[in-house]
Amino acid sequence: MSTFSLSDAGIVGARRAKATPFLDWAYASATGVLAGIAWIAFGLSCLLWDDLGDWSRTHAVGIGALIIAAATLVGTLGADHLGRLGRELRQRAPWLTALGLFLALWEAATAKFAWLPLPFFPPPQAIIEVYTDDLPKLFDSVIASVKLQLGGYLIGAAAGFLTGVSIGWSRSIGYWVHPVLRFIGPLPATAWLPIAFFTFPSSWSASTFLIALATAFPVTVLTWSGVASVSNAYYDVARTLGAKPSFLVTKVAIPAALPHVFVGLFMGLGSSFAVLVVAEMIGVKAGLGWYLQWAQGWAAYANMYAALIVMSLLCSSAITLLFRVRDRLLVWQRGVVKW
Partner 1 sequence: MVAHAIAEPITYPAVGASLDIENVSHAFDIDGALLPVLQDVSLRVEPREFVALLGPSGCGKSTLLRLVAGLEPPRSGVLREDGALIRNPHPSRVVVFQDPTLFPWRNVWDNVALGLEAQGVLKHQRQRVDDAIDLVGLSAFRNVYPHQLSGGMAQRAALARALVNDPKVLVLDEPLGKLDSLTRIAMQTELVSLWQRKGFTTLLVTHDAEEALVLANRVIVLSERPAKIKADIRVERPHPRHRGDPYLADLRRQVLGLLGLEATW
For residue 334, state whether it binds partner 1 (rule: CB under 8 A): yes
Stretch that binds partner 1, among 24-32, 202-210, 302-310, 324-332 (CB under 8 A): 324-332
Nearer CB in complex with partner 1: 4/332: 332
Transcribe 246-303 into DSSP letters.
HHIIIIIIHHHHHHHHHHHHHHHHHHHHHHHHHHHHHT-SSSHHHHHHHHHHTT-HHH
| Residue 296 Cα distances to 17, 40, 55, 142, 307, angstroms | 62, 33, 19, 18, 11
332 is an interface residue for partner 1 by CB under 8 A: yes
Residue 172 in contact with partner 1, rule: CB under 8 A: no
Give the three-state DSSP class for 134.
Answer: coil
How many residues form the binding site for partner 1 (CB under 8 A)?
Answer: 23
Using the minimum distance from each CB to partner 1, give the nearer residue, 61 or 258: 258
* Alpha helix (H) residue ranges in 78-192: 84-107, 124-133, 135-169, 171-184
Nearer to partner 1, 189 or 253 (CB): 253
Task: Kindly tell me which residue out of 11, 143, 237, 313 binds partner 1, with binding defined by CB under 8 A.
Answer: 237
Chosen residue from 236, 299, 317, 325 binding partner 1 by CB under 8 A: 236
Sign of CA dihedral 290, 291, 292, 293: positive
Decide if 118 contacts 52 (C-beta within 8 A).
yes
Q: Read off the DSSP letter of residue 1.
A: -
Q: Which range binds partner 1 by CB under 8 A, 5-13, 75-83, 147-155, 235-243?
A: 235-243
Residue span binding partner 1 (CB under 8 A) among the ranges 220-228, 238-246, 262-270, 312-320:
238-246
| Least separation in angstroms between CB 240 and partner 1 | 5
User: CA 124, CA 103: separation in Å to the nearest integer?
Assistant: 7
The DSSP output letter for 243 is: -
Candidate residues 20, 231, 317, 320; the one interacting with partner 1 per rule CB under 8 A: 231
State how far the alpha carbon of 117 is from the alpha carbons of 114, 123, 205, 240, 283, in Å. Answer: 6, 11, 41, 73, 32
- With CB under 8 A as the contact rule, the residue among 10, 316, 333, 339 that binds partner 1 is 333
Q: Does 325 bind partner 1 (CB under 8 A)?
A: no
- Per-residue binding string, partner 1, 244-273, x by CB under 8 A, is x--x---xx--xx-x---------------
Q: Would you say the C-alpha torsion 103, 109, 113, 116 has a positive or negative sign?
A: negative
Interface with partner 1, residue 234, by CB under 8 A: yes
Q: Is 241 in the site for partner 1 (CB under 8 A)?
A: yes
Question: Measured from the CB of residue 228, what is the shortest distance to partner 1 in angstroms?
Answer: 17
The secondary structure of 109-130, three-state, reads: HHHHCCCCCCCCCCCHHHHHHH
238 contributes a contact to partner 1 by CB under 8 A: yes
User: Which positions touch partner 1 (CB under 8 A)?
Assistant: 231, 233-234, 236-244, 247, 251-252, 255-256, 258, 330-334
